[in-house]
Every structure is written in structure tokens, then in C-alpha cells.
Structure 1
């Protein structure tokens, strides 16, 4: 169904090919997962299937890519639309209509399908992806995860023979991700749909793949094999595989069930290890600053700067009985939350639960309908922007929303001016977070992880005591996520309070002191990370599921205990 024959792609101005010598054949009815670190060319490979590479992106494609017998060099994307359905990393770039139901129907209208067929398929897709209650909603009012499901639904309704998916579960909560993956399984096994997918959250998808295609480095040859074969040699792997490597299991487990069956001896060894210290229960006192055994470069860069305001003993933010209404939707109800300097909180919950709205209220983007929000003693929606940036900073789901200039240097100069910081302050942060990025680089030419790092540097220039991040690991591989964890730990050690809205249960387990779970706009759980996530089947990390009832959350904790 999909065939790559010695394919290389070189973009204008690049020093060498983004991908080189790719040979791959994906037969009908197979799900192939494309894996590898960020920046190795996975999106380029996916784009070559739909014809977006090179017809839309430019560059030179050598070799041959055929889909259902059609050569993508001679067939433009619109001539492949009846065969290939594509969902990229940014769902907003796909939408051409205003409401959910219209968006699901648009692709079929373009293909001239009969109205009766369109109506039936729209209803089927609404049910498949649990979108029925959103059918009349304007797309602009949906959460990022809801928009992701709509984008996936819009390519399912025309019933393409090939699906190309780039990070399809990155913005989805664990439950919604399982629903989408179950739909893909049904399409593959019941309808013979061919799926080629790239996904960094391997813990969610690796067990569903028939084969894995590994791109280990830029320009390196593609390696294809079974999931177990590729995970044994891959530089990127999920926590359950990491745990298997640590324990010396062979073959490596790909699922929690496989790992639990082999973990009896490991659990016995860990029983003798000292338990993880329990965090205090609410109400929480000011969180202690975590000592670092040796200062990181970022810590050294920030040392002496610290948060711009708020004495060490004061709360970073206090939310009391907060309610927010957005049109007909009551986004938040009776929410209470207090954050302390040096504390990291993970906000979790289903898509549409109110996480992004709570962050928006903390940064003054929405006004409370009832209740109050105080950040550094001030109401953020009534605080002048120039003063507010010294109290709280938000890195949104789409970091590009913060980036307006044509170069990295111009972004940094604007950040210094807005924050009233000394010239070069932002650029020094960027140099630490993004080594080897030239001043004249355009932000749109950066990878997702690089854009996140640039946006984080822009926000940190003002040294806000409260730092908010919305889905910060979206589009990041495991190595990039580890670097982000290091950066955020350094900031917490310097006294910054950090609030993360995330669906990444592994990030919460690694980083958060507390977890707050929202459901339908209300707080349904608030407590120490270990207590909250272990008690939740949906939000427990893989290691906790494997080693339960022992209180271990991450491979790093297990490694330290065994040492």
C-alpha cells in the first residue's frame, strides 16, 4: 500500500538530507509506528506519503514514494486526498469550518459524497470518538485535546485507505488516547486500513504496532522490525522498557501486563528498600526548596536572580471558590488552589476539564465569574501587563503563540524590553536552553521542543515567581523531556512556583510535588503525587502499575533504590 524506494529529502539551505536512503514497504491493513528522537526526519517521512513533501514544503525528493500505486512526485496532495488522510501535530492548521459537525463533513463534501452517506458517517464518527455532545460547538471553544479528536475525526469520515498520523495522542488525556487507539485498531483489523504513525509517547502506542520503523539519527538508515526487536536497540523507549533493561529482562516487556508477570523478584528486592518519603497532606505549608547536589548551568545562570517578587514565605497564588463561565459553558466551579514558592503542581484531568481555563485565570486572560484569584497579592485580570509579567508567566500549549518576531535575536530583544531586563538576559537563557541556535534563526524553523525552550526563555526573562506551562511535553521526545525536567527542577530550587497542566502521567510522576485532578470544572483530588496517581488507574505511571502495591513511580527511583 505504501512503498519507499531509496528516498532522500533535502530542504533548501540545509547542509544535508533530512532523511537518506529510506526503504520501507507497508502492506495493506498494517499499523507501522515510526520512532526516533526529535529532529531525525519522522515528519518528513510522513509528509512524503501524503505528497506534502515536497509539493508543499519544498525541497528535493530523490527516490520514489508510491501510495496505492500512485507516485507522490506526480500526484499532488489533492490528487491523493481520496486515498490518504493526514493529521499533523497542529490540529488548528487542519480546520476550515467553524463547528465540529461541519468539520467532520467537509472532507466528504470535497469528494462529492451523497448527503445520506455523509450524514451516516458523521454520526458514526461522533460516536467513535465520543464527540456527540460537542457536535454543535464552535471549534475555537474546544480544548486542545478535543480539537485533536475533531481533527482525527475529520480524516476518518471520508474512509481513506491510508492514515498518516503525526503525534495523534499528544494532546489527549489517557482515556481519550485509549479511545483513539482503539478506533485505529478497529480500522486496521476490521477494515484493512493502513496506518503509518509517529508518536513520542511510546508507552501509549508501542504495543498496538505490527512493526516499528526506527530512525535513530538524522540521515541514518531506517531499521524495521518487530516492536520487541526495535525496542532492544532504540535510543528512545517507554518507561516499561527502561525498567526491563534495568532489571535485565529478556525479551523486553512492551506492556504493563508483560512487566508485572516478570516483576515478582524485583518487587521483593524493592520491599527491603526504604519507602519514598510521604509528602504532607493539605493544607500544605510553604514547600521546602529541594537541594541540588551540584548546581546545573541553568541554576548558576539564575542564581542571585530568583523570582522577581513575593517574599519567600508568601503564597505564590491563591484561588478561592473560583468560577469561570465561557459562553454557555461553565468551565470552572468552586475551584480552590494555593501554590507555594518552590512547589511544582501538576493539573490533570480529561480534555475539557478546565485545566487551561484555570491557567488562563491565573495569568489574567479570563475574568472570574465568581470567587477570586490572587497572584503575588494582586488580581491578575486587573493588573497592568508590564507589572503582571513580573508576577506570573504562561507558556501556552502552542509556544508559537508567544513568538512574533522574525528571528531568535529579535524575540530576545523584545522579551528584555517587555520585562525591563538588562540587554542580553533572554539571549543568555536561550543559549543555555538551546545551544547552537543562531541569532538569525526564524522561530518557525525550530522544532516543537526548540520552540518550547525559546518560549520558556522569553517568559523567564521577567523572573516571574509563578510559572505556568500548558502541555509542555507535547511534541517532545524522552531526551527533550528529561532536559525540561532538569530545567524546571532548577527553577523550583530557585524558589519559583510551577503549575503544569498536563496529560503526561510520566512527567507528573517525575516532577510534581502535588497532583490536582479536575473533572467538569471542579477539583476532585488534591494531594501528594504518589497518593493521587497511584490511586487512579488512568493517571498512574507505568512503573507504579508494574510495581504496585510498592510505592514506586519512576525508573529513576527504582534505580536509586537498587543502587
Structure 2
């Protein structure tokens, strides 16, 4: 169905090809998973299938890509629309209408399908993706995960023969991700749809793949084969594979069920042992340039833009050390929707709290209330003794650093070097402080790279570095691992652990249960705007089928959360 013949892609201004000499065949009616570290060319390979590369992105493509017999060099994306459905990493760039139902119908209208066919397919897709209750909602009012489901639904309704998906579950809660993956399996198994998918959260998808394609490094030839064989050599792999490597299991497990069947001996070896701490000061330290930077700091050109303030407006830093956050019976309304109800929460200096819950549960709204972007309808919020929505933005940004779901909101310069220089100047930090953080989180990115040429995960890592340069007492992160591979996530965990050890308070809204297991002292679960669980990470997630990490499921009822904890305990036993 999809064939690459000696395909290379090189973008203007780059020193080497992003893809080089790719020979690859994706059979009809299979789900093929594309994996690899951030920045190796996964999105470029997917774009070559849909025709976006090079017709939309530019660059030079050599070789030949054919989809259903059509050559993408001579067929532009609109001439492939009836054959290929594409969902990119950013759902907002995908939408062309205002409401959910209109968006689901738009692709079929463009293809001239009959009204009765369109109506039936819209209803089927609303039910398949759990969107029936949102059909009349403006897309702009949806959460990031809800928008992701709408974007997926809009390419399902025309019934394409090929689906190309870039990080389709990255913004979805675990239950919604399972629903989407179940739909994709039905399309593959029952209708013979070909699915080519890139995904970093392999713990969610690898067990469903018929084949896996590994891009090990930029320009390297891809490795294609059965999932277990590729995972045995892949630098990126889910926790159950890491556990299998640790135990020497062959073949490697791909699912929790496979691992549980083999884990009885491991559970016996771990009996009587206690898991080590979830997080602490034992991770990688902050770069020396960042540790030496004065605190507080002001990222005028980034966070200030979220408050609607002129990025050029100056501000004089004031000493701020108190990161204590207190929320009492907080209520927030967004139009007709009661986004938060009676939320009470305290975050102490040095504490890392993970906010979890379904898409639309109110996690991002809670972060917005903490930074003063929304005004409470009831209750109170205090950050360092200040009420955020009543505090001038120039003072609030010295107390709170926010990394939003869309990293582009923090990026406005033409190069990575210019972004870093602006961050250093705004923070009053030593030159090179931000760049040191970028190198820690995102190795190998040249200074002259334009932020728009970075992958979604790379842009997120850059935005994180910009905010972390300021070392704010309270750090808020909204889906901080979206688009990050496992290595980048591990580096992020190390930096955040170091900040927490120095007394910074960290609140992160995430669907990444593995991140919460590695990093959070506490987990707070929201449902329909209310707190339904709040407690130590192990106690909350082990008892939750939806939010338990893979290792907890494999070794339950023992309270192990990560492979690192297991490795340390087994080393002690030996």
C-alpha cells in the first residue's frame, strides 16, 4: 500500500538529510508503528506519505513514494485526500470549522459525499470516539485532548484507505487513548485500513502493532520487523520491555499481560523489599550556569505574552523565595461550563504534584488559576501570599513559571540562540545559562535552528529551558512530555528533581502515568472539575486501573512504580 524507494529528504539550510536512502514497504491492512528518538525524521517520513513533504514543507525529496499506486511527487495533498487521512502533532492547525459536528463533516463535504452518507458517518464517529456530548461545542472551548479526538474523527469520516497519525494519543488521557486505539484496531482488522503511526508513548501502542519501523538516528536507514525483535535493539522502549531486558526474558514482553505471566519469580524476589523514593536529589543536577543564576527572574518575552503584556516592557526583579500554594474551595466557570468546583489543595516548597484525570477534567484550568489567567468564581487562590488574578503580571511572573500545552506561545525569536539570549537577559542570568539547559534537555540542536523547524517535542524542550532559566519558585507544566522520547523525558525528570530538591514547588498536569510514577510526590485526580483523589503517588496510582504505570500493574499488589526501583531492589537482594 505504501512504498518508499531510495527516498531522501533534505531541507534548505540544513547540513545533512533528514531522511536518507529509505527503502520501506508498508503492507495493506496493517498497523505499522514508527518509533525513534525525537528529531530523527519521523514526522518527515509521515509527511512524505501524505504529500505534505515536499509540496507544503519545502525541501528536496529524491527517490519515490507511492501510496495506492499514486506517486506523491506528482500528486499534491489535495489529490491524495480521498486515499490518505492525516492527523499531525498539532490538532489546532488541522481545524477549518468552528464546531465539532461541522469539523467531522468538512472532509466529506470536500469530497462531495451525499448528505445521508455524511450524516450516518458523523453519528458513527461521534459514538466511536466518545464525542456525542460535544457535538455542538465550539472547538476553541475544548481541552487539548478533546481537540485531539476531534482531529482524529475528522479524518475517519471520509473512510480513507490509509491513515497517517503523528502522536495520536499524546494529548489523551489513558481511557481516551484506549478508545482511540480500539477504533484503529477495528479499522485495521475489519475494514483493512492501513495505519502508519508515530508515537513516543510506546507503553500504549506497541502491543497493537503488526510491525515496527525504527529510525535510530537522523539520516540512518530504518529497521523494520516484528515488534519484539525491534524492541530488543531499540534505544526507545516502554517500561515492560525495560523490565524484560532487566530480567533477561526472551522473547521480550510487549504488554502488561505478557509481563505478568512471567513475573512470578520477580515478585517472589522482591517480597519483603520496599520501593525506594519516587523522587529526590539523586537525579542529574542542574547545569552549573543555571545554578549560579540569580533568583527570581522575569521571562518578559514569553510568559508576559500569555498575560497580554508587551514583551518589551521592562520590570525590576524582586527577591521571591516563598513557593507555598494554597487553594480553598476554588470554583471557576468558563462560559456555561463549570470547569472547577470546590477544589482545595496545598502545595509546599520542594513538593512535586501531578494533576491527572480525563480530558476536560479541569487540569489546565487549575494551572491557569494558579498563574492568574482566569478569575475564580468562588473560593480563593494564594501563591506565595499573593492572589494571582489580582497581582500585576510583572509581579506574578516572578513567582510562577508556566509552560503551556502549546510551546509556540513562548517562542518568538528566529533562532534557538536568540531565544536563549533573550531568556538569559530577561532572567538576569549569566550568558549561556539557558543554552546549558537546552543542551541538557535537547542535545545536538544547532544555535541557528529556527524554532519552527524543530519537532513538537524539541519545541517543548526549548520552551521548558526558557522557563527553567528563570528558576521560578512555583513551576507549572501542562503536558510537559508531549512529543518527548524516553531519553528526553529522563533528562527532564532529572532537572525537575534537582529543582524540587532546591525548594521549588512543581505542579504538572499530565496524562503520562509513567512520568507521574518517576517524579511526583503526590497525585491529585480531577473528575468533572472536582478533586476525587489526593495522596502519595504509590497509594493513588496503584489502586487506579486507569492511572497505574506499567510496572505497578505487572508487580501488583506490591507497590513498585518504576524499573529503576526494581533494579535497585534486585541489586540489593543480590
What secondary structure is seen at the aligned counterpart in 1 of 2:287?
Answer: helix
Counterpart-to-counterpart distance in 2, 1:518 and 1:173: 12
Are 1:211 and 2:211 matched, yes or no? Answer: yes
* Residue 445 of structure 1, CA deviation: 1.9
Deviation at 1:228, TM superposition (A): 1.2
Q: List alignment gaps of at least 5 residues for structure 1.
A: 280-288
Task: Pick from 357, 360, 363 the counterpart of residue 352 of structure 1.
Answer: 360
Q: Give the C-alpha shift of residue 422 in structure 1.
A: 6.1
Call closer, same or farther: CA 1:441–1:222 in 2, change over 3 Å.
closer
Corresponding residue of 1:260: 260
- Name the residue aligned to 1:69: 69
- 1:524-563 alignment, distance < 5 Å: 524-563=532-571
For the 8 Å contact 1:386–1:419, the answer to whether it is kept is no
TM-score, normalised relative to structure 1: 0.94
3-state SS, counterpart of residue 137 of structure 1: coil
Encode CA deviations 1:272-302: one digit per residue, 9 max, x unaligned.
423546x9xxxxxxxxx94448x72426731
- Answer yes or no: is the 8 Å Cα contact 2:296–2:319 preserved in 1: yes
Query: Post-superposition shift, 1:469?
Result: 0.3
Aligned to 1:282: none
- 1:519 to 2:537 alignment: no
- 1:99-130 per-residue CA deviation (whole Å, 9 max, x = no partner) reads 00000000011111111111111111000000
Please give the alpha-carbon distance, in whole angstroms, between the structure 2 residues aligned to 1:315 and 1:305.
16
Q: Which residue of 2 aligns with 1:302?
A: 291
Instruction: Give the 3-state SS of the residue equivalent to 1:54 in structure 2.
Output: helix
Mapped partners of 1:303, 1:291: distance in 2? 18
Residues 12-91 of structure 1 correspond to what in structure 2 (within 5 A)?
12-91=12-91
Preserved contact between residue 389 and residue 462 of structure 1 (Cα < 8 Å): no
Deviation, structure 1 residue 450: 2.7
- The residue number in structure 2 matching 1:343 is 351
1:410 matched to which residue of 2? Answer: 418
Indicate conservation of the 8 Å contact 1:35/1:212, yes or no.
Answer: yes
Would the alpha carbon gap of residues 304 and 8 (structure 1) be closer, same or farther in structure 2, given more than 3 Å must change?
closer
Q: 1:291 to 1:149 in 2, by over 3 A?
A: closer
- Matched residue of 1:9: which SS? strand
* Aligned residues between the structures: 551
Post-superposition offset of 1:22: 1.4
After alignment, is 220-229 or 69-78 more displaced?
220-229
Q: Which residue of 299, 312, 317 corresponds with 2:325?
A: 317
Aligned to 1:331: 339
Residues 391 and 466 in structure 1, CA contact (< 8 A), matched pair in contact too: yes
Secondary structure of 2:25's counterpart equals strand
Check conservation: 2:281, 2:497, Cα contact below 8 A. no
SS in 2 for 1:346: strand
Whole-angstrom distance in 2 between the partners of 1:76 and 1:179? 32
TM-aligned CA deviation for residue 358 of structure 1: 0.2
How many Å separate the matches in 1 of 2:119 and 2:542? 43
> Aligned partners of 2:268 and 2:389: how far apart in 1?
53
In structure 2, the partner of 1:285 is none
Residues 1:4 and 1:509: Cα distance change in structure 2 (over 3 Å): same
CA displacement, residues 143-171 of structure 1 (integer Å, 9 cap, x when unaligned): 00000000000000001010000000000
1:284 is aligned to none
Contact kept, 8 Å, 1:306 with 1:496, in 2: the verdict is no
| 1:458 CA drift (Å) | 2.2
Moved more, 110-119 or 22-31: 22-31
Task: Note the aligned Cα RMSD (angstroms).
Answer: 1.9
TM-score by length of 2: 0.92
Change (3 A) 1:60 1:315: closer
